[in-house]
A and B are shown apart, each in its own frame.
Chain A
Amino acid sequence: MLIALENVCKIYNQGQANEVRALSGIDLSVEAGSMLCLKGPSGSGKSTLLAIIGCVFPPTSGRAAIAGKQLARLPDRFLTIHRRESIGFIFQKFNVLPELTVLENITLPLLPLGISPRERRQRAKTLMERLGIAHRENFPAGQISGGELQRVAIARALINRPPIILADEPTAHLDTPLSREFMAIMQQLQAEGKTIVIASHDPLVFEHPAIDRQVAIQDGRIHVP
Chain B
Amino acid sequence: MAKRGIEKQLNILDYALSSLWRRRTKNLSILLVFSAVIFLVASFLMVSKALSDRAGQLLVAAPEITVQRMSAGRQEAIPLAHGERLQGIFGIRRVVPRVWGYYFDEVTGANFTVLGVDPLQMPGGDGLATALARGRLPEEGEAGMVVVGQGVVETLALENRQLFSLFRPDLSLKTLTVSGEFAKETGIMTADLLLMHPAEARDLFLIAPGFATDLCISVANSREIETIARKIAELLPDCRVLTRPQIQKTYQVVFGWRSGFASICLLSAVAAFIILAWDKASGLAPEERREIAILKVLGWETADVLAVRFWEACLVSGLAFLLGMLSAFAHVLFFSAFLFRPILLGWSVLAPGLSLVPALALGDFLLLAAFTVLPYLAATVIPAWRSATVPADSALGG
Q: Do the beta carbons of A109 and B298 come within 8 Å of each other?
A: yes
The verdict on A92 contacting B295 (CB below 8 Å), with A57-B391, A112-B11, A115-B7 known, is no
Return the contact of B4 from the options A84, A96, A114, A168 (Cβ within 8 A): A114
Return the contact of A80 from the options B4, B6, B12, B299 (Cβ within 8 A): B299
Q: Do the beta carbons of B11 and A51 come within 8 Å of each other?
A: no
Chain A residue with minimal CB distance to B393?
Answer: A56
Complex interface: chain A residues within 8 A of B22 (CB): 99-100
The B interface is mostly helix, strand or loop, or mixed, namely: helix
- Interface size class for chain B? 20 to 34
Q: A22 → chain B, closest Cβ, in Å? A: 11
Q: Do the beta carbons of A91 and B397 come within 8 Å of each other?
A: yes
Task: Output the residue of A50, A97, A104 with the most chain B CB within 10 A.
Answer: A97
What total count of A-B pairs have CB within 8 Å?
A: 88
Q: Do the beta carbons of A56 and B396 come within 8 Å of each other?
A: yes
Complex interface: chain B residues within 8 A of A112 (CB): 8, 11-12, 299-301, 304
Distance in angstroms between the alpha carbons of A109 and B295 in the assembled complex: 8
Q: Quick one: which of B368-398 are within 8 Å of A by CB?
A: 391-393, 395-398
Q: B253 → chain A, closest Cβ, in Å? A: 57
Q: Quick one: which of B295-317 are within 8 Å of A by CB?
A: 295-302, 304
Complex interface: chain B residues within 8 A of A51 (CB): 393, 396
A179 located at the interface, meaning its Cβ lies under 8 Å from any Cβ of chain B in the complex? no
- Interface size class for chain A? 35 or more
B291 located at the interface, meaning its Cβ lies under 8 Å from any Cβ of chain A in the complex? yes
Q: Do the beta carbons of B7 and A84 come within 8 Å of each other?
A: no
Q: Do the beta carbons of A111 and B393 come within 8 Å of each other?
A: no
Q: Do the beta carbons of B398 and A42 come within 8 Å of each other?
A: yes
The verdict on A160 contacting B299 (CB below 8 Å), with A111-B11, A112-B8, A114-B7 known, is yes
Interface residues of A (CB under 8 A from B): 42-43, 47, 50-51, 56-57, 76-77, 80-81, 83-84, 89, 91-93, 95-97, 99-100, 104, 108-117, 156, 160, 168
Q: Can you list 23 A-B pairs, Cβ within 8 angstroms, ordered by A? A: A47-B396, A47-B398, A57-B392, A57-B393, A77-B301, A77-B302, A80-B296, A80-B392, A91-B396, A92-B397, A95-B294, A95-B297, A95-B395, A108-B295, A108-B300, A109-B299, A112-B12, A112-B299, A113-B299, A114-B4, A114-B6, A115-B11, A117-B11
